Amino acid sequence: MNKPRLSFWQIWNMSFGFFGIQFGWGLQMGNMSAIYEYLGASESALPLLWLAAPLTGLIIQPIIGHMSDRTWGRLGRRRPYFLSGAILASLALLAMPHSGVLWMAAGLLWILDASVNVSMEPFRAFVADLLPDEQRTVGFAMQSVFIGAGAVLASKLPGWLHDWGISIKTTAAHPIPQTVITAFTVGAFVFFLAVLWTIATTKEYPPEDMDILKQKQAEGFGEIWTAVREMPTRMKQLAVVQFFTWMALFCMWIFFSVAVARNIMGATDTHSELYERGINLARDCFAQYNFVAFIAAMGFLWLGRVMSAKWIHVISLLLGGIGLASIGVIREPWMLLTAFVGVGIAWASILSMPYAMLSSALPPERMGVYMGIFNFFIVIPQILVAIIISRVMEHFPQVNRLSAVVFGGFCMIVAAIVTLFVPSTNVAPRRLQEAAEKEGMLPTATPPESPLP
């Protein structure tokens, strides 16, 4: 199928749902370790409590990808999953900060992460479904722009709420600060409304052959394992890159916030003002890397004209790895914020360039299931981190939260080195340059045959 080129605003609309998804995800990333510690979790228990996220993704994403490849109805192929995930995730966000005990927070994280995965997984296939090859780098970069914007606001929101007079104090009866409760409530509405915008403004192409679709609908989930066995070579190479990349990110998400409060600020009591100041500084660092990612993603819209996705990714991962590893020797707040500039550039690339490299190597009829299978190599390293590091911390007290963050930085550098061995995509640089010049970051006329408004 020859897909028509889409205008800037059409790509904007189809990507806007990621703003809400990342707003909710950012609240989770920036606050869950602190919520667990507020409720009495020990240092070594944190990785195991976070296991909900990778385990849920390992199960949910390939199943949702398989199902969405075989779905067609009034809302199209991918949009029914966007909507159902958004409803469930918004309800989980409303409930999460009202957890009174540790098991309740852990259970709600399972629900929240499952729901986020239901919404998020089809978005990757959505871009590949609707955009021609030469516009996919732009499409995935646009997703990164919205991911960065949503995460920046989510990271800063609790601090802003405190500045506006909402209390950060905790007690045994009310262990979670009011700033966190209010931020999660806002996040629930942002998540739902942003996804609803994409659903309302973006239509999908109908199947070219409904009879073939009906035949595929009769196939069982065994097709997932068939797809695993038949993975394209480039996907296998990128799987190794993803493995080390997401090992690094998971170390950062689990341990950085509490490492700043405990190991850098020196707080010993989760109910102390010093601990909360450390958590707020970590949120500022998360906001910093997400803001930089927002800017870098916009830069990638231009850079994709003259540089392949492979080299953008190599350089970005090196900068991120160096920034994250340097946390081991940094103690000044301004230096922490500077280090997270590199992390932000890496994050923008992680959210777009692997998918730009991957999508042109995938058969269209398996786009959803392969995007879900690709998630295996995001969640398996997270599971290993959660199980292994928790045991190491339990038996070796000298390995602390800060050590885990530094280890993550070196993993990201390894990912950059591995990326050097991945061949560039098949889309010729000249075609990418022509596409970007036509894009011009300005609205263009929509071909009459496009299904998008």
Q: Provide the residue ranges of all domains of the chain, joining segments of one domain with +.
A: 8-204+231-436
pLDDT band at 237 (very low <50, low <70, confident <90, very high): very high
Triad 394, 395, 398: Cα angle to 5°? 90
What is the helix (H) or strand (E) element at residue 21, kind and residue range?
helix 17-38
Tokens of 356: 């730009």
Range from 6-20, 188-202, 297-311 carrying the lowest mean pLDDT: 297-311
pLDDT tens digits along 418-441: 999 998 754 444 444 444 444 444
Range from 74-83, 171-180, 259-268, 343-352 carrying the lowest mean pLDDT: 171-180
Tell me the C-alpha to C-alpha distance, in Å, between residue 263 and each of 28, 72, 342, 387, 394. 22, 52, 22, 22, 17
pLDDT band at 238 (very low <50, low <70, confident <90, very high): very high
What fold does the segment set 8-204+231-436 form as a domain?
Growth Hormone; Chain: A; (1.20.1250)
What integer is the mean pLDDT of 289-306? Answer: 83
pLDDT tens digits along 85-101: 999 999 999 998 888 88
Are the C-beta atoms of 422 and 232 separated by less than 8 Å? no
What integer is the mean pLDDT of 271-295? Answer: 85
- pLDDT confidence of residue 67: 85
pLDDT band at 1 (very low <50, low <70, confident <90, very high): low
Classify residue 212 by burial, with Cβ atoms within 10 Å: 0-12, 13-18, 19+.
Answer: exposed
pLDDT tens digits along 141-175: 888 788 878 888 888 888 889 888 887 776 666 77
Q: Give me the helix-helix angle, 102-130 and 133-163, nearest 10°.
A: 150
Mean pLDDT score of the chain? 83
Classify residue 396 by burial, with Cβ atoms within 10 Å: 0-12, 13-18, 19+.
Answer: exposed
pLDDT tens digits along 60-69: 878 888 888 8
